[in-house]
Amino acid sequence: MQGKQDQSLLQSAFIRGNEISMKLKIRNLKSEIRNQFSLIELLCVVVIAAILIAIVIPAFLNMIKGQSVEVAAREIGSKLKAVRTYAISQRQYTALVFITSQTTTNDDRYCYKAYRPCIVNSSNVIQRWVPDEKWDFLPTGTIIRSLTTSSSAAPDTFTGSEVVSVSSDSDINVFTTASSLYAIIFKPTGEIVGNRVYVTVGQGVYQNGSLLVQNISNRSVITVDQYMGRISYGTQ
């Protein structure tokens, strides 16, 4: 009698165990089904991601270009401050020269992008380059749009700024013949030669002999005061 009761208890426990095991399997199966994505759901995710990328990337690139213009302006401004300091400390007329399409060069990469400090005489003729200084270039996609005495000058305008002369042997890697370059010249007193100057930096490229201005509203203007030689920044 006791044996039959034990056998009955074992069978009940076995059946109960099977029921529990089956419930766990069903629950795990449901969980797996919930965690799986259908092909349509995956396609929807891919399409949404592609749309977001198409929207975000152009905006990101525009932001980078906008920042490049500001960076370019700060680089030129820093160089102008260094040139002024050199002019005062060395008691010499010192200029920061810029290359445009009107300069006879061997390499178009210099046009509207390159600048370099030099020492000039009273006739605005380059005597020598400032020691340990090389040609500096603006960031890719940025250009020197204008160098004038007007803050609202049109692109590729370099009227009113000082002009310095350079002989053909001053930099054989750049100049093919005797050339003239536009420049901002600092006196030993820290003042600049001529009137207040505005350097406008913007987006653009120089290729195939032409200056192509891009996004004309994105610009930064560096102002050089004629009396104090003070450097300031703005957008006008």
* Residue pLDDT, tens place only, 70-81: 889 999 999 999
- Three-class SS of residue 217? strand
pLDDT of residue 14: 46
Q: What is the dihedral of CA 19, 24, 29, 30, to 10 degrees?
A: 100
**Beta-ladder partners of 145:** none
Domain parsing of the chain, residue ranges: 2-36, 69-234
Q: Which residue has the higher pLDDT, 182 or 88?
A: 88
Residue 95 has pLDDT above 60, yes or no: yes
For the structural domain made of 69-234, what CATH number should be given? 3.55.40.10
For residue 80, the model assigns a pLDDT of 95
Residue 112 has pLDDT above 70, yes or no: yes
Band (pLDDT 50/70/90 cuts) for residue 178 is: low
pTM of the model: 0.68
pLDDT band at 117 (very low <50, low <70, confident <90, very high): very high
Nearest of 165, 75, 65, 160 to residue 123 by alpha carbon: 165
The dihedral sign for the CA sequence 115, 116, 120, 125: negative
CA dihedral 42, 47, 51, 56 (to 10 degrees): 30
Distance in angstroms (rounded) separating the CA atoms of residues 217 and 64: 15
How far is 236 from 234, CA to CA, in rounded Å? 6
